[in-house]
Amino acid sequence: MDKKIILLSAFVLTLLMAIPAVAAQGPRMDRVLIHVYANPDMEFMDFELGIVEITDWPATKYYLDRWVKEPYASKLTLRSYYEIGMMQFDLNNQRWPTGWDEPLEYDDRTGTYKHYYNDTDPNNINHRRDWCAKEFRKALAYLTDKGKIVREILGGLGYACETFVPYPALAAYTDYADLEVKGLIYHYNPATAEQILDNAGFQDWDGDGSRDDWKDPGPDLTIGTGDDGDVEYDSLRQYDPAGLVFYIRMDDPNRRTAGEMLASEMENLDIPVKKVITERTVCFRQVMVFYDYHIYTGGWSLGAIPEWLHTIWNSEYYWAPMGWSSNYCGWCNKDYDSYSFKVFTATSPEELIQNSLKCQEIMARYVGHIPLWASAAVKGFKYSYTGVVADVGYGVDNYYSFLNMRDTETGADTTIDYGFKSDIEGVHVISSEWLWDWNVIGMIYETLMGRQPYDKGIGSYYYWLATDYTVGNWTAGDKTFTMINFTIRDDVYWQDGVPFTAEDVVFSLKFTFHCGKGVAWNFAAVQYLNDTWAEGNKVVVKLNIYKPLTGQEDPGFLPIIPKHIWEAQFPDWESWYNYETGEWSDERMAVRDWHPWEEPHPVYNETNPHPQNGVLTKAIGTGAWIFDEHVEGETITLHANRLYYFTADQIDSDIKYLFWSGKGDASGNMVIDGPDLAKVHAAWDSKPGDPNWDETCDFNQNEHVEELDHLLVSKNYGLPG
């Protein structure tokens, strides 16, 4: 017998022995069929026809006005939420005239050169350039009519944002009144924009009808007065003869219209602008890889705690010329860096909030980007689905819903038809950047823990691959650092039957770190990793920073990958990072080019299907759904993982608990209604031991059913889950 066949047979035997005798039920449905579209309108039309049964994108006013009336009102269920995400105009802060790039400073943390914003010395030409670039960005902010965007483009289904913190979902972290007093909210005013441009030297100096030349407005006793008398031209067309390069996404009608609106306002003031209306893959390449742009219609889906004020906007995350980096706008400000790091390493919620406010003030003062809106979002699903939950900040198409939902009408049809407004680029758990990629990846791979669907506060977690954690300290010399100890589940199997262990967690953290910046999308979660190891069913994680408030979230929210698959593909991964020099090898770039979702599993494939999970690829996770196939521009298919460690009944029970504990659903029917009020009234003024005591009515868990519990039900009355 051939040696390779002998080894393969042994591996098969090992896997088969590892498969548990009784598989957990897993999801209630058998299959997910994702229908891919080029824009949301096409998806919404198919939602009306019943081809799509749950949507991924906030509905527009046109369709909402239709869906609340017959014949759709009785066929479609709609759920609203405040979006933890936002749209903005990204501005290139390292390119003239939206930014400036001199002098460049070396950053030994990232091994790159970048320009740090500074406008404090009016007698230095580069510092005056910074001031003028800031003024140019400020003029663009005054040309952005957010009120019109919300009224006419969004049809009222959105909230104007003034900082890079979504409002109103995360209103606790914003202070618009303070920004207004300080003059840092830029209300639409073309006349003010024109005056700012004139004062900053952006005028039609040669009378050709275009502000395509700039004259240095100093040196002056008062910067910006333009009193030096020297005529010194510098073209705004130096990067493209047509003018400032404005990349406008064509796959999102709202962003496209908003982008065209700003371009029109710029043209009205004779600012030369080149509109490039194109697909998102082109935008990604030019904006986030080559940094070859001035303005871009950007958008972010964000986390519930604004640590991304650091991990997106700190200059540590601007890695040009390496593509890509999260801070592709090149916003580099040392004062901001200091405060954003304090957000990231806050020791209390109060410290996190105060430093978040300071970050927003600095960003607003220098207009590092132009915030636009957060959606007053509504997503929908088929009327006959039950078990669907609306995750706060993200909507109904979430992991909990796909685990728990079932169709009460179709009976034999156990396929969830899910709509995507855009196609995926890949199912790459290490390197994928796009929202739609992660919508799929999140169904396959899991984390140690995640935020609860109805309570997004720090410390409010639902446990997946871990069962618990503790946070402690470790010391080196006179410095104190954070250490986390996770307890790992012992009943989890990878989708190919191999037991999940603590070693997989250790490998995932170290491998992601060794992939490094520019390769690992989740690098921010591991960049402060000092060491990690397994002790039985425990995983110890040492950080090289002091992060006592949220240190558990960095490794805790990282997707865990199977060591037996990834190490087989990249056996030399430990050589990619040199601990002595702090440098990464280019060999790690091979990770970006690997497509595990397109490669057959080494054992379970079409000729040898897994006894319970069928045909498998190398995109193996612990999640409830197994990847099958991606047909570009058409569909993505997944099927249920019948080795999943949670049963559907467990998920159903947990979701009901998570819901009523936060909303007031004492009856557990996923709606706040009369039965909930009746239960509270029946248990009124009771405490443990009283005959009428009912713990399901003690929503604030103070062992007393009283006014606050009644108030919660009254406030949320009529809300569905």
Q: What is the mean pLDDT of residues 122-133?
A: 80
Query: Residue 290 pLDDT more than 60?
Result: yes
Residue 108 or residue 44, greater confidence: 44
pLDDT of residue 171: 93
β-bridge mates for residue 466, sequence order? 488
CATH code for the domain of 360: 3.10.105.10
Q: What is the mean pLDDT of residues 310-317?
A: 95
Q: What is the mean pLDDT of residues 655-681?
A: 79
Scored b (16 or more CB within 10 A) or e, 51-71 reads: ebbbbbbbbbbebbeebeeee
The answer to which of 165-174, 606-615, 696-705 has the lowest mean pLDDT is 696-705
Condensed to tens digits (0 to 9), the pLDDT of residues 331-340 reads: 999 999 999 9
pLDDT of residue 709: 87
Query: Residue 122 pLDDT more than 90?
Result: no
Is the Cα torsion angle 239, 242, 243, 247 positive or negative in sign?
A: negative
* Percentage of the residues of the chain whose pLDDT score is greater than 90: 76
Which residue, of 374, 392, 413, is where some domain finishes? 374
Condensed to tens digits (0 to 9), the pLDDT of residues 131-186 reads: 999 999 999 999 999 999 999 999 999 999 999 999 999 999 999 999 999 999 99
**CA distance linking residue 674 with residue 718, whole number of Å:** 9
Residue 187, in any domain of the structure? yes
Whether residue 307 contacts residue 317, with contact meaning beta carbons closer than 8 Å, is answered with: no
Query: Residue 449 pLDDT more than 80?
Result: yes
Condensed to tens digits (0 to 9), the pLDDT of residues 459-503 reads: 889 999 999 999 999 999 999 999 999 999 999 999 999 999 999
Residue 195, in any domain of the structure? yes
Please tell me the chain's helix, strand, coil percentages from 3-state DSSP, rounded to the nearest 5. 35, 20, 45
The answer to which of 15-19, 487-491, 548-552, 696-700 has the lowest mean pLDDT is 15-19
What does the block give as tokens for 619? 């995109």
Whether residue 697 contacts residue 679, with contact meaning beta carbons closer than 8 Å, is answered with: yes
Is the Cα torsion angle 644, 646, 648, 654 positive or negative in sign?
A: negative
Q: What is the mean pLDDT of residues 515-530?
A: 93
User: Could you give the number of structural domains in the chain?
Assistant: 2
Average pLDDT score, the chain = 90
Condensed to tens digits (0 to 9), the pLDDT of residues 234-264 reads: 889 999 999 999 999 999 999 999 999 999 9
Query: Residue 97 pLDDT more than 70?
Result: yes
pLDDT of residue 6: 30
The one-letter code for the residue type at 284 is F
What confidence tier does 654 reach under pLDDT thresholds 50, 70, 90?
confident
Helices (H) and strands (E) in the chain, counts: 22, 26
Residue 176, in any domain of the structure? yes
* Percentage of the residues of the chain whose pLDDT score is greater than 70: 92
Strand pairing of 538-543 and 577-578?
A: unpaired
Phi-psi region of 617 (alpha: psi -120 to 50; beta: other; left: phi over 0): beta
What SS3 class is residue 459?
Answer: coil
Q: What is the mean pLDDT of residues 655-684?
A: 81
Q: What is the DSSP letter of 250?
A: S
Residue 268, in any domain of the structure? yes
Length of the chain: 721
The one-letter code for the residue type at 410 is T
Query: Residue 671 pLDDT more than 80?
Result: no
Query: In angstroms, how far apart are the furthest CA atoms of the chain?
Result: 90
* Domain ranges, residue 259: 85-374
pLDDT of residue 668: 72
**CA distance linking residue 281 with residue 406, whole number of Å:** 35
What does the block give as tokens for 326? 């999260």
The answer to which of 130-134, 317-321, 409-413, 710-714 has the lowest mean pLDDT is 409-413
What confidence tier does 666 reach under pLDDT thresholds 50, 70, 90?
confident
Residue 487 or residue 117, greater confidence: 487
β-bridge mates for residue 463, sequence order? 449
The answer to which of 211-225, 316-330, 442-456, 589-603 has the lowest mean pLDDT is 211-225
Distances (CA, A) of 217 to 210, 299, 377, 474, 642: 18, 34, 45, 54, 69
Residue 518, in any domain of the structure? no
C-beta contacts of 307-310 below 8 A and 24+ residues apart:
307/343, 307/344, 307/550, 307/553, 309/164, 309/165, 309/340, 309/343, 309/344, 309/356, 309/359, 309/360, 310/340, 310/341, 310/343, 310/344
Helix (H) or strand (E) holding 214: strand 213-215
Residue 581, in any domain of the structure? no
The answer to which of 79-88, 124-133, 639-648 has the lowest mean pLDDT is 124-133
Q: What's the order of all strands across the beta sheet hosting 233-235?
A: 202-203, 213-215, 233-235
Residue 511 sits at φ, ψ, to 5 deg, of -65, -45
Which residue, of 321, 339, 374, is where some domain finishes? 374
Nearest to 261 by CA among 144, 86, 142: 144
CB neighbourhood size of 501 (10 A): 19
Residue 232 or residue 366, greater confidence: 366
What does the block give as tokens for 313? 């906007």
| DSSP state string for 333-393 | -HHHHHHHHHHHT-SSHHHHHHHHHHHHHHHHHHTSEEEEEEEEEEEEEETTEES---BTT
Query: Residue 225 pLDDT more than 90?
Result: no
What confidence tier does 222 reach under pLDDT thresholds 50, 70, 90?
low
**CA distance linking residue 701 with residue 584, whole number of Å:** 50
Q: What is the mean pLDDT of residues 65-70?
A: 94
Residue 511, in any domain of the structure? no
**CA distance linking residue 593 with residue 596, whole number of Å:** 10
pLDDT of residue 665: 82
Which residue, of 332, 349, 374, is where some domain finishes? 374
pLDDT of residue 409: 86
Nearest to 433 by CA among 298, 295, 618: 298
Condensed to tens digits (0 to 9), the pLDDT of residues 28-37 reads: 999 999 999 9
CA atoms within 13 Å, Cβ hemisphere of 7: 4
Query: Residue 27 pLDDT more than 50?
Result: yes
Whether residue 24 contacts residue 644, with contact meaning beta carbons closer than 8 Å, is answered with: yes
Nearest to 521 by CA among 434, 626, 586, 424: 434
Nearest to 494 by CA among 629, 648, 610: 610
Query: Residue 80 pLDDT more than 50?
Result: yes
**CA distance linking residue 304 with residue 504, whole number of Å:** 27
Query: Residue 12 pLDDT more than 70?
Result: no
**CA distance linking residue 429 with residue 507, whole number of Å:** 14
pLDDT of residue 17: 37
| Strand runs labelled E in 383-422 | 385-386, 406-407, 415-420
pLDDT of residue 9: 32
